[in-house]
Amino acid sequence: MHTTEGSILLISNLEFLPGRTVNKHLGLVQGSSVRSKHVGRDIAASFKNFFGGELKGYTELLADSRDEATERMLEQAKSIGANAVLNIRYSTSSIAAGAAEIFVYGTAVELVDQPGTHE
């Protein structure tokens, strides 16, 4: 579950949610974020490449990008009346030297509870 400005949107990488039925298919929604590396992170990363270990600066950069891309996708879903985004997928690609894109997409739907189910 994800909350955006008072609205609750369900998000899942499943194609359906147990106990819920897709009442309306609203289409593909997507979001992306392109970030570049920071020179300070590059210097620290070159030391880590030599000695080994997690590149925490890049891990944080990708996590921030993933969150931003997800927020953009959910805002698009909300704007077309969705209460859920199903079958979410993430992709990462190199855009230019030192810059990467996080892309997220999914299917915006209107879900309703199946009769006889309680959440």
Cα–Cα distance for residue pair 93/88, rounded to 1 Å? 17
Residue 28 region by backbone torsions, left for phi larger than 0, else alpha for psi between -120 and 50, else beta: beta
Q: Which domains does the chain have, with CATH numbers?
A: 2-113 (3.30.110.70)
From the CB of residue 40, how many other CB atoms can be counted at a distance below 10 Å? Answer: 9
* pLDDT for residue 116: 74
Q: Is 32 in a helix, a strand, or coil? A: strand
Q: Is 18 in a helix, a strand, or coil? A: coil
* pLDDT for residue 40: 54
Phi, psi for 4 (deg, rounded to 5): -130, 115
Half-sphere exposure of 81 (CA within 13 A, CB side): 6
**Percent of the chain having pLDDT more than 70?**
77
Is the pTM higher than 0.95? no
Q: Which of 35-39, 87-91, 93-97 has the highest mean pLDDT?
A: 87-91
Q: Which of 9-23, 40-54, 87-101 has the highest mean pLDDT?
A: 9-23
- DSSP assigned state of 38: -
